[in-house]
Every structure is written in structure tokens, then in C-alpha cells.
Amino acid sequence: MKVFLAVLRRDLLLAWRARADLLVALSFFLIVASLFPFGVGADPNQLRAIGPGVVWVAALLAVLLALPRLFDKDFDSGVLEQLLLSPEPAVLWVAAKIAAHWLATGLPLVILSPLLGTMYRLEGVELGVLAGGLLLGTPILSLVGAIGAALTLGLRGAGSLLALLVLPLFVPVLVFGAGAVDAWGAGMGVSAQFSLLGGGLLGALALSPLACAAALRLAVE
């Protein structure tokens, strides 16, 4: 745990120092989600119908925008190679880096989502369901996206290749996350969607650090 906490603290400090990059991702999230009401009109029923999907797509793209920076700086500076050569388990510090990425990128999206939900005429419990779905879903996006970031590390055109790799894998998270709000609005429960998101999160937690560690070793070699 000392290794995990040390890497987590370091990456959060680096993220704070480079907070302009984080503000770009958050601004992108806010701008994309805010543009749709101007394009589709102010009909409350229409806004309520598209709102969850729009917020989720904007969050997905904002996470994708921040993914290339997950390992790039450490790779360029040689820190990544030193971490891989250290006796500490790679899974621990990889998990810490992914956790720091989510805390710096995904958690602010969860916090801002109720504000955007009100623009789409979502109310009360619907806002809570939207935020709860993002709370379960955005860590999956970071975990799965980290595998893509590790696989494309150091490659030319890595950003485009990363998007091609991970976007299809993000679709189930998008469907279940946005579907939870729709299910609640239709008078049905959200336990099925949240259970699927929770199961996906547990699976990603178990597999993603291992896959990332293996991919990073290949990238460094």
C-alpha cells in the first residue's frame, strides 16, 4: 500500500501542476453537453429523452481526450522504465496511476453531471441515477482506456489508434449507464443496469492492471 499511495500522490500532484490539461477535458465535457439543447430546441420532453445519452457521450469523449497523457510523460522521461525495473509489483503502481487518472478526470465529470442534467430537464432522482451511473461507469472507462493507452504507447498516431481500440469497448458502459436513467424515467428499477456496471467495474479492476503492466513492458522493450 505504501507504493500504491506514493504513486497515487505523485500522479495527483503532477495532474495538479498540469491542471490546464485537465481543464481542457472538463471544458470539452461542458461545451459538448451544452451545445445539444441549442441544436435540438427547447422541447422539455425531447431534452429529457436525449439528455442521459448526451451527457454520457460527452463524458466518454472527455475521458478519451485525457487518456493519452496517462503514461506518456513517464515514458518520455524514463520514469516508466525505472518503475518497471523496480522490485515493486507493477500491478500496484499501474493501479495507482489509473486511480489518479480517474480522480483527476472522471470524478469531476461525476460531480458536474447533475448540473448538466438540469439543462435537459432531469429532476430529483433522475439526477442521482445519472451521477450514480457515471460513478460506476467512468472508472471502467479509465481502466479499459488504460489498456489501450499502454498498447499504443510510443506509436505514431497513438491518439487515433487509441480511439479505434477503446471506443467499441466503451459502448456497453454507455448503453447501461444512459439506460439506467431511461429505465427510471419509464418507472422501472435501475438495479439491473447498476449491477451490470458494478460487475463490469469489478472485472476491469481485476484484469486491467495486469494487462496494462504486460503492455507497458512490451512498449519499453
Instruction: Report pLDDT digits (tens) over 113-149.
Output: 998 888 888 888 889 999 999 999 999 999 999 999 8
Amino acid making up residue 1? M
Closest CA to 208 of 177, 156, 169: 169
Amino acid making up residue 84? L
Name the pTM for this structure: 0.90
With a cut of 90, say whether residue 201 has pLDDT above it: yes
Whose cell is 515514458? That residue is 75
Q: Give the residue-averaged pLDDT of 2-31.
A: 86
The total of other beta-carbon atoms located within 10 Å of residue 5's CB is 11
With a cut of 80, say whether residue 154 has pLDDT above it: no
196 — pLDDT class (breaks 50, 70, 90): very high
Residues 186, 187, 193, 194, Cα dihedral to 10°: 130
Residue 202, pLDDT score: 95
Which residue range forms the structural domain that includes residue 148?
A: 2-220
Q: How far apart are CA 40 and CA 50, in angstroms?
A: 10
Query: What is the number of domains present in the chain?
Result: 1
Q: Give the residue-averaged pLDDT of 57-78.
A: 86
Q: Which one of 82-86, 88-92, 180-184, 193-197 scores highest in mean pLDDT?
A: 193-197
Take residue 112 and report the three cell numbers written for it. 458536474
